[in-house]
Amino acid sequence: MSPFTGSARRTTEWKHLKVDEDDGVVTVTLARPDRLNALTFGAYADLRDLLGELSREKSARALVLAGEGRAFCSGGDVEEIIGATLAMDTGRLLDFNRMTGQVVRAVREAPFPVVAAVHGAAAGAGAVLALAADFRVADPTARFAFLFTRVGLSGGDMGAAYLLPRVVGLGHATRILMLGEPVRAPEAERIGLISQLTDEGTADEAARTLARRLADGPALAHAQTKALLTAELDLPLSGAVELDAATQALLMHGADYTEFHAAYRDRRPPRWQDR
């Protein structure tokens, strides 16, 4: 994401999200607990725009995506979105579906780690948002449900057919996306869909702890690692190792690499400079 902007100023108030910042850790909370944090058109757009702004200004060093109340996110709001899409023409439907995909791309392309804190339902678009995160911290109540075929749509929504096989393997992904059955926390941990399983009620706290650990680390190294993980999904080995070599050569000229060596000699923690 380019840091160069035009006349637009940073948004200071978000209508559809709660946004809190604490020394490099940004917590974004879906806050419609009465609707299990179901997403609206505005919530999708706010997520897309917020992630874009944070990526450009580079103040965020880690981001936690959480849900208020009894669930992480129950997906697109049946009343506000599905009803509306039935009246849209093909052009409008394409605009909407492209926007939801832009949210996933914004999560994957953000130059900072994203940690999803999952409890209760992560369904439909909510499941894909959690999938797009770099880490999924979940408690035993978490259940992931990719419900798209259950409503007569393709299971490959918002990049799910691209991301899920790469996280859990093609066999598990085929079953999960075709059948739309919920994947509860024990199975999700077993197949690699969950990065960290916590005690009940502690997923948000554990996600913030992980985000703080990441934010206190070398942000540039984290950003480049995330970028390579995404870019190399579709590269042959020869291209991947060449991209790794070029990236490492650039980082070895960086201040953080020099600082690590100085800290090692002085027997002290590194003071990362993110350059």
Over its length of 275 residues, how does the chain's per-residue pLDDT go in tens digits?
666 677 677 888 899 999 999 999 999 999 999 999 999 999 999 999 999 999 998 889 999 999 999 999 999 999 899 889 999 999 999 999 999 999 999 999 999 999 999 999 999 999 999 999 999 999 999 999 999 999 999 999 999 999 999 999 999 999 999 999 999 999 999 999 999 999 999 999 999 999 999 999 999 999 999 999 999 999 999 999 999 999 999 999 999 999 999 999 999 999 999 98
CA distances from 266 to 224, 255, 270 (A): 27, 16, 10
CB 216 within 8 A of CB 129: no
Distance from the Cα of residue 59 to its chain's centroid: 17
Residue written as token pair 């703080």:
212
Q: What is the Cα–Cα distance from 212 to 63, expressed in whole angstroms?
A: 9
Q: What is the Cα–Cα distance from 19 to 122, expressed in whole angstroms?
A: 20
